[in-house]
Copies of this chain bind each other. A is one copy, B any other.
Amino acid sequence: MITFEQSLDIIRENIAKIIYPSHPDQLYAPIRYILDLGGKRARPALVLLACNLYKDDVSDSIQPALAWEVFHNFTLMHDDVMDHADIRRGKPTVHKVWNENTAILSGDSMLILAYQILAKAPADVVKPLLDLFSKTAAEICEGQQLDMEFEARQDVTEEEYLEMICLKTAVMMGACLKSGAMVGGAKMTDMNLLYEFGINLGLAFQIKDDLLDIYGNPAVFGKAIGRDILCNKKTYFLVNALRLAGNEDKKSLLNWLEASSYNENEKIRGVTAIYDKLLLKQHAEEKMKILYEKSLSSLEMVDLPERKKTVLYEFAKQLMEREH
Task: Please list the residues of chain A having a beta carbon within 8 angstroms of any beta carbon in chain B.
Answer: 21, 23-24, 26-27, 78, 81-82, 101, 104-105, 107-109, 111-113, 115-116, 119, 123, 126-127, 130-131, 134-135, 137-138, 141-142, 144-146, 148-149
Establish whether residues A26 and B134, one from each chain, have CB atoms under 8 Å apart when the complex forms: no
**B contact residues around A23 at 8 Å (CB):** 142
**B contact residues around A104 at 8 Å (CB):** 78, 81-82, 104
Shortest C-beta distance, A172 to chain B (Å), equals 13
Copies of this chain, tallied across the complex:
2
Kindly identify which residue among B113, B123, B130 contacts A115, using a CB–CB cutoff of 8 Å: B130
Not counting A23-B142, A27-B142, a sample of 19 additional A-B residue pairs whose C-beta atoms are within 8 angstroms of each other reads: A21-B138, A24-B142, A24-B146, A26-B145, A27-B141, A82-B104, A105-B145, A107-B108, A108-B111, A109-B142, A111-B112, A112-B134, A112-B137, A115-B130, A115-B134, A116-B134, A116-B138, A119-B134, A123-B127
Establish whether residues B148 and A108, one from each chain, have CB atoms under 8 Å apart when the complex forms: no
**B contact residues around A141 at 8 Å (CB):** 27, 105, 108-109, 112
Could you show 24 A-B contacts with beta carbons less than 8 Å apart? A21-B138, A24-B142, A24-B145, A24-B149, A26-B145, A27-B141, A27-B142, A78-B104, A78-B105, A81-B104, A82-B101, A82-B104, A105-B144, A105-B145, A107-B108, A108-B141, A109-B142, A111-B112, A113-B138, A115-B134, A116-B135, A119-B130, A119-B134, A130-B130
Mostly helix, strand, loop or mixed at chain A's interface?
Answer: helix
* C-alpha gap A107/B113 in the complex (Å): 16
Shortest C-beta distance, A151 to chain B (Å), equals 10
Residue of B nearest to A141 (CB): B109
The answer to whether residues A78 and B108 also contact, given A27-B145, A113-B138, A115-B134 and a CB cut-off of 8 A, is yes
Shortest C-beta distance, A64 to chain B (Å), equals 14
Residue of B nearest to A138 (CB): B112
Establish whether residues A109 and B131, one from each chain, have CB atoms under 8 Å apart when the complex forms: no
